[in-house]
Copies of this chain bind each other. A is one copy, B any other.
Amino acid sequence: MLNYSEIDSILRALVEPTRRQILERLSRGPATVSQLAEPFGMTFAAVLQHLQVLEACGLIRSEKIGRVRTCRIEPGGLAPLADWITERRIPAERHLDRLGEILAETDQPSPKVQDQEKDEQT
């Protein structure tokens, strides 16, 4: 739990489809809370909660001018997640087939491989 929680909060924010849509919308330019709420068949309050989540993890930024709050994308917001992914892609791309082979050779005389499931996704 170091900067682990940063990744955690970003993933929790992104896992919500509505929040991803809000991000898409904002990546085409800033918008007020009401402008964001309109296209989604959703109450003001709900969108506001999403915006708070997005802002709390640094994916968006907002400022209130008068009674209007304008939201926009925070440029570097996705960077921590991008880093997390690249950190895990590079080592993963190696040593697994290697170890897999070793394990496959040392372990069984006549392996009866049966791979089921993994196909309920049209």
Asked if A91 contacts B11 (CB within 8 A), the reply is no
A38 within 8 Å of B by Cβ? no
Please list the residues of chain A having a beta carbon within 8 angstroms of any beta carbon in chain B.
Answer: 4-5, 7-9, 11-12, 14-15, 17, 20, 23-24, 26-27, 29-30, 52, 55-56, 62-66, 68, 70, 72-73, 75, 77-79, 81-82, 85-86, 88-89, 91-93, 95-96, 99-100, 103-104, 107-108, 111-115, 117-118, 120-121
Distance, CA A64 to CA B89, complexed state (A) = 25
Q: Please tell me how many copies of the chain the complex holds.
A: 2
Q: Please, how many angstroms separate the alpha-carbon atoms of A14 and B13 in the complex? A: 12
Summarize A's interface: helix, strand, loop or mixed.
helix
Is A70 a contact partner of B103 (Cβ separation < 8 A)? yes
Complex CA distance for A108 and B32, rounded to whole angstroms: 14
